[in-house]
Chains A and B, each alone.
Chain A
Amino acid sequence: MIGYIIRRLLYGVLILIGVNLFTFVLFFAVNTPDDMARLAIGGQRVSADAVEKWKVERGYDKPLFLNVKQEGIQKYTETIFYQRSVPLLTFDFGASDEGRDIGREIKARMWPSLALAVPTFVLGLALSIAFSLVLVFFRTTALDFWGVVVCVVMLSISSLFYIIAGQWLFSKILRLVPYSGFAGGWDTLKFLALPIIVAVIAGLGSEARFLRSLFLEEVGKDYVRTARAKGLSERVVLFKHVLRNALLPILTGAVASLPLLFMGSLISESFFGIPGLGSYTLDALSGQDFSIVRAMVFLGSSLYIVGLIMADISYTLADPRVRFE
């Protein structure tokens, strides 16, 4: 297994290099360093001097991939791509284009993101499993039919609608929670209650429908019939047999997405004023801060790779038949 993990990690490094290259090309295909400088400096009377200084300070005065003015290896190392990419491989994110330490920002902002994402993930998964099991229990009844209809309706609605509707209902009409904001300690609950409820409800339709189909597939299998024939209650059949056997595909999604919880939610954090990594990324995109964008894309890719490896490992724990050999 160790060999397998090492092999996967090495593949991961190649993927990261590819992602880094792709991000770089995409970003600079639509932005020139001059654009970035003008946007970063802003205001009236942006002087050519100020643009040049901005570029020099951040190393954007160099060529993108090939520096023909240099000799030997420096042709490649004295370029924006090399100087911006190589430190990333050691997780040295450096400074943002505004000059702020990206590593420190990530450390500070991952907690609000996690505070929102972890409860959303856990509650969302638990509620989806419970709801889908109820639908399976009442399969072929009107409850199941209308439950599926509700799921389809819910998954058809944009998550933005849930946010706006949630703020309208709970903040404006009922006045039970603040519209937005964030605080530490126990007060986090007050600010996160609405975003969590909204996120759980927004994800319930698609998640429950997916899980219902998984459970229905299992319910028709021989071992379930055998379990029932043994006289086991439907509750035991569903929770002990069906749920456990359907865990494998659930694990695929759940474990792989665990590391990505760090990355936060772009829309939710922005609407609810949560100072997490999602809003950090969104700010960087709108401000054309390439340093942050590439750092967040790199971090996201790394976490995704780690998530996939974790999912593979979890297979062996959930299903002893799965072996890496």
Chain B
Amino acid sequence: MQMLRGRASPRYGVAIPVSSVLLKFAALLSLGALTACGPQGLESPINSPYIAGAENQNVLYTAFTQRSPKFLDPAKSYSTDETPYTYNIYEPLYGYHYLKRPYALTPRTAVAVSEPNFVDQAGNVLPSDASAKDIAESIYDIKLRSGIVYQPHPVFARQPDGRFSYWPLEPQSFKDKFVMGDFQQTGTRELTAFDYVYALRRLASPRVASPIFSTLAEHVVGMQAYGKRLREIDAALRKDLPPGTRDLPWLDLREAGFSGVEALDEHTLRIRVKGLYPQFKYWLAMTFIAPIPWEADRFYSQPGMAQRNLSLNYWPVGTGPYMLAESLQNRRHVLVRNPNFRGEPYPCEGEPQDRAAGLLADCGKRTPFIDKIVFNIEKESIPLQGKFMQGYYDIPQVDRGDAGVAMLVAAGDSAAKATLYAKHGIQLPTTVEAQMQYFGFNWKDPVVGMGETPEQQVRNRKLRQALSIAFNWEEYVAIFQNDQAQVAQGPIPPGILGYQAGVEGINRVVYDVKDGKPVRKSIEQARALLAEAGYPNGRDARTGEPLVLHFDSASGVGGSSPTLDWMRRQFALLGVQFDVRATDYNRFQEKMARGVAQMYMWGWVADYPDAENFLFLLYGPNIKAGKGGENASNYMNPAYDALFEKMRDLPDGVEKEQVIAQMIQILQEDAPWMFGLFPKSGGAFQQWVGNAKPTQMVRNTLQYMKIDPVLRSKKIAEWNSPVWWPVVLFGLLLCGIVWPAWRALRRQDRQTAFGDVAQEGVR
């Protein structure tokens, strides 16, 4: 980031009374302050937080809240706030089409989205419609495009004689180097399939501890054993080193590999997946499968690098449209256009409404359109919102849609705000995303869980069904989500194969169908179910004791909030007492891991747009308690599990839809969750931001966006003319107070027992 320059601004000079040394000093200080704002005085408004004329450049300004991204290493990064960086710097094999919905995979560095070849145990090739039980392996042979090169980076820099410029380095030789810009020389090379092989091997490395290793190791041939082997190699390398040491000898993953991942040639990658696993292709669209050049891994393994935070975690090396040029932790990060990027064409197809919205106008043009993206920290919402309304942010946050939804809500609540947003031409598109919030029951719990005996199982199911009816999600969405969410009828969100819109999708356990629309069953029906469950009017029929259910809240200590109070009232409709066990998120996670919570509320953001990624949240072998899976309800139903295993192996199509429908029906009947809601995601974009489409699945959106700096500059000047008269008025008021005080002081100085000395003299 360039520094702001000081320049005089006669336009903003103010007259300051010069009647004392103190006032002179104040005047000088004020003048200094104003002239320091000079550059904006001439080329930008005085309140601009950027360099003079910044708004005229092809630069997109946005913000991040709370803190800098924790992990930019693609093997570790798994948080939404990291994706604007990782998905624009790194290129996985595939990505998602920017405009098409439902989401469609498109190749990024691959030539095409490859279909796997199937082989049996003997290695014989099977037809593409072979039965899942016959398939021993799915082999993905993925062709890479040639001519893709990495961003200019010191890890590739070489001397004229071919030696690497920055390897090997002695620790003292880079004592003064703390950022990548401190290394003057850069280089590049072509992307090869070996870089993907290296990246996949690295996922198994104990040095990295990738969150995705255990999942991928279940599917990729030989990966589990490879992880163990790497542990042994790593242990041997660390043998004589003190524990916790940060400078470790390089674990060269070129040497040791495994059969599941190999490069057939420079541009062909082969991945062998156990059995049939159609969802595997989606993992190839995530940055876990982004190429890692071995030079980068070796460069960052040099002694002293870790101490200076020189690692892939902070300084990524990629082939994507942007590269990280500046990284000031918890302050500012800057992405600039990768000069080596080949320039991908802007898509020419999309949803029907995209053409009318102007989203197809740039069809075929080379991306990216924007030269630089500046992310500034804004920890508080007031400055963030304020700067956005002044035009100093083009998008409040790239990675989240909350700001857009919040502005929509604000516009709905206040006509003045709606007018202001309209006047500023702010675009507020929304969409329902592949994510959900649900209310879960712990299957291990004797009261709301599965139940031990068949009779108990029936009773518990009826209790869960009664609660599902009483808990009015429509009201919840209206009150707490400001209508910016869709009430869920099952676990599959819209836009994903298996989601059923209309009458077919209605949860008949909770809703009646009237005029083709769902109508929540009456509270009397819920009470009847509760009585059948053995709790008439909320009391145990056998003991007469009131039914008390415990909700484990992660909302912090206290247990009282509007949401929790509302929940209490929902349960009270049935006479059931709702006890809140409030705790912090860490304790909550611990309880969930031990399986001791009774009821809870949680959410899930899809890894990929496939029903499997939601239905696995209730798959028996994936329980959280004791196994660490994502089935937080610890739900187990053999019929459901069998259908899941069948569905998982099916290609997209009618058969898969039918199986999913059966699974949803089981879930609606068993009610291990109250299905909750699918939150809407929104975007807030200034009028000069083009090609903006809200999405939480496509993460390399910056590549497709564009801005109109001329319009931005004009609007910023229009919206930010300073108001000086209150300052002048304040100065006059101050003089009005100081001057009489000064006079009184002087008068008292001159006064004697015989009156005013000065006046006496005059007489």
Contact = CB atoms under 8 A, between A and B. Distances in A.
A269 B651 CA distance: 54
Interface residues on chain B, size class: 35 or more
Contacts of A178: 47-49, 387, 392
Interface string A164-175: 100100011111
Interface stretch (B122-130, B134-142, B304-312, B640-648): B304-312
Given A40-B70, A99-B246, A175 B213 contact: no
B45 A175 contact: yes
Interface in A95-150: 95, 98-101, 104-105, 134, 137-138, 143
Contacts of B630: 44-45
A227 interface: no
Contacts of A233: 748-749
A182 B722 CA distance: 20
A196 B331 CA distance: 20
B4 A164 contact: no
A34 B4 CA distance: 44
Interface stretch (B100-108, B185-193, B378-386, B699-707): B378-386
Contacts of A286: 66-67
A214 to B, nearest CB: 20
B33 interface: yes
Nearest to B740: A143
A222 interface: no
Interface string A187-206: 10111010000000000000
B21 interface: no
Contacts of B412: none
Interface in A195-251: 233-235
A167 B214 contact: no
Contacts of A176: 46-47, 722-724, 727
B46 A175 contact: yes
A177 B243 CA distance: 51
Contacts of B503: none
A275 B328 CA distance: 10
B4 A189 contact: no
A234 B745 contact: yes
Given A171-B386, A279-B330, A47 B720 contact: no
Contacts of B604: 44
Contacts of B311: 99
Nearest to A137: B745
A15 interface: no
Interface string A255-285: 0000000000000001111010001100100
B3 interface: yes
Contact of A180 (B49, B78, B244, B605): B49
B558 interface: no
B330 A275 contact: yes
Nearest to A189: B36
A190 B9 CA distance: 13
Contacts of A184: 3
A57 B307 CA distance: 13
A287 interface: yes
Contacts, number: 185
Interface string B687-723: 0000000000000000000000000000000001111
B575 interface: no
A44 B386 contact: no
A41 B244 CA distance: 17
B211 A271 contact: no
Interface residues of A, number: 70
A234 B45 contact: no
A31 interface: yes
Contacts of A319: none
Contacts of A270: 379-380
B382 to A, nearest CB: 6
B212 A45 contact: yes
B589 interface: yes
A320 interface: no
B160 interface: no
B329 interface: yes
B3 A183 contact: yes
6 contacts: A35-B587, A138-B744, A167-B382, A174-B722, A180-B383, A184-B3
Interface of B: 3-6, 32-33, 36-37, 45-49, 66-67, 70, 77-79, 178, 206, 209-215, 243-244, 246, 306-309, 311, 313, 328-331, 376-380, 382-383, 386-387, 390, 392, 585-587, 589-590, 604-605, 607, 628, 630, 720-724, 726-727, 741, 744-745, 748-749
10 closest A-B pairs by beta carbon, nearest first, are A43-B78, A187-B4, A179-B383, A35-B586, A181-B49, A178-B49, A53-B209, A186-B6, A180-B383, A50-B209
Interface of A: 31-32, 34-35, 38-50, 53-54, 56-59, 95, 98-101, 104-105, 134, 137-138, 143, 164, 167, 171-187, 189-191, 193, 233-235, 270-273, 275, 279-280, 283, 286-287
